[in-house]
Amino acid sequence: MEPVFTMASWAALCLGGFFYVIGAVGLNRMPDLFTRMHAVSVSDTLGVGLLTLGMAIHSGASLITVKLLIVVLVLWTTGAVASHALARAALHDGEKPVLVGADGRLTPTDCVTLFPELGPRLAQPLSSEAVETGADQGDPAAATWIPGRSRSGDTNATASAAAEMGMAAMRINMLGALGLMKMFRIGTMSSARSRGRTRDRGSR
């Protein structure tokens, strides 16, 4: 590989790693959910993009570059979608952004007081289905969405269910890790153990 390409690859990988760590540091240092999302978006777009660019320069024009392109395009699109869904759900759940108050200190502020036009939109429930079924049962808690309170009236229902989904995602990740370990051990995912081992030894 030409020295120019090597240097470009080096620079992209180092910059990408730098922005990736910056985003993760922001995830821990920022005061509230919305600023944390802002920090993570740095590593999810610029960090991932630069790291992938570094790898793409390294591999040159090949099938691997196409695969890298697929990975980065899917990551960019789903990242934006996930951020939007997360922010929307958090606002509906009554999450208060931490802003500089009148006394110059950081205080959790209800965003309806800042943007009154948000009020009616936040007063609507996320689920149209819930309105219909709630009206049928004559349950006032189900018919009107109150920020900070989920549909069932139980404050933690949405939160605990979201935590369960996080656990499910972690379990999927764990399965992936086990598959990866198998791949390391025997060189392939599908072949018998003995055959894989000899192949792995031979390749090193």
Neighbouring C-beta atoms of residue 85, cutoff 10 Å: 10
CB-nearer residue toward another protein: 86 or 141:
86
- Min dist. Cβ of residue 49 to another protein (A): 11
Report the distance separating Cα 96 and Cα 40, nearest Å: 19
- Min dist. Cβ of residue 103 to another protein (A): 23
CB-nearer residue toward another protein: 39 or 112:
39
CB-nearer residue toward another protein: 10 or 116:
10
CB-nearer residue toward another protein: 16 or 196:
16
- Min dist. Cβ of residue 135 to another protein (A): 11
CB-nearer residue toward another protein: 90 or 99:
90
- Min dist. Cβ of residue 144 to another protein (A): 15
- Residue 1 in 3-state DSSP? coil
Burial code (b: 16+ CB inside 10 Å, e: under 16) for 93-120 equals bbbbbbbeeeeeeeeeeebbeeeeeeee
- Min dist. Cβ of residue 21 to another protein (A): 5
- Asked if 55 and 68 touch (Cβ cutoff 8 Å), the reply is yes
- Asked if 66 and 57 touch (Cβ cutoff 8 Å), the reply is no
CB-nearer residue toward another protein: 104 or 202:
202
Q: Identify the bridge partners of residue 106 per DSSP, sorted by sequence position.
A: 100
- Min dist. Cβ of residue 133 to another protein (A): 6
Phi-psi region of 138 (alpha: psi -120 to 50; beta: other; left: phi over 0): left
Phi-psi region of 161 (alpha: psi -120 to 50; beta: other; left: phi over 0): alpha
Residue with tokens 């959910």: 33
